[in-house]
Amino acid sequence: MPIYEYQCDACRKRTTLFIRNISNPEPARCQHCGSDRLTRLISRIATPKSEEARLESLADPSNLGDFDESDPQSMTRFMKKMAGEMGEDFDEGMMEEPDQTVEGTGDEPSG
């Protein structure tokens, strides 16, 4: 039972249709405006990568062209990309300035 994506030629919005019966599908209509003038889109597919392949793609110098380690926004973009490649959630709070003391212990960082 495939899922197809279409772009409506009338309202230009994307419509996703779940086809229950391939041999006798219902006519495709836009979910937004009801038009039957739809263009089928090529859907994205997911291809699993090994952890090694994900790390190699992050280390590829061509992917680091706009990376500037002294720019916090650049670091944030890179960290989000790394988190996405590794299948982890990115917490915006990770990029905030660290406190001068370790919370809850009263210890100051050495340095």
Instruction: Give, for 15, the enclosing helix (H) or strand (E).
Output: strand 14-18
pLDDT at 39: 92
- pLDDT tens digits in sequence order for the chain, 111 residues long: 678 899 999 999 999 888 788 788 788 899 999 999 999 988 777 677 787 887 777 777 666 667 777 888 877 877 787 777 666 776 666 555 544 444 555 555 555
**Integer Cα distance of 4 and 21 in angstroms:** 13
Q: Could you tell me if 82 and 57 lie in one domain? A: yes
Is there a contact between 95 and 72 (Cβ–Cβ < 8 Å)?
yes
For 108, the token pair is 């100051």
Read off the CATH number of the domain in which 32 is found. 2.20.28
**pLDDT tens column, 80-93:** 877 776 667 766 66
- Show the domain range for 80: 51-94
